[in-house]
Amino acid sequence: MSAPIPNLMTVEQLAEHYGLAKKTIQNKLTRGWGPTPVTDPDTMQVLGFEVEEVTRFDRINKQTRKQRLYA
């Protein structure tokens, strides 16, 4: 495996960010909710979540549909 990618959030940090339990976040991620994870190309295991992607996900989900479409 290559060197770790800097600026990634773990599932634990993501749970803390949203104020939810780790298991709740894992369940939501399994259902497709949440920012896009960074995966290892060889093993396809989740390495973490880019901070920029989490910020983008937060921004999009705090807007109304009208704001998203016509902003």
What string of pLDDT tens digits covers the 71 residues of the chain? 455 556 899 999 999 999 999 999 999 999 999 999 999 889 989 889 999 999 999 988 888 888 878 86
Q: Where are the domains of the chain?
A: 8-70
Contact partners, residue 8, CB within 8 Å, separation at least 6: 38, 47, 48, 49, 50, 51
pLDDT at 20: 93
| Residues paired with residue 46 on neighbouring β-strands, in sequence order | 39
Report pTM.
0.74
Q: What angle do CA 60, 31, 11 make, to 5 degrees?
A: 75
Residue with tokens 């994870």: 37
Distance of CA 47 to the CA centre of its chain: 11
CA distance 46 to 5: 12
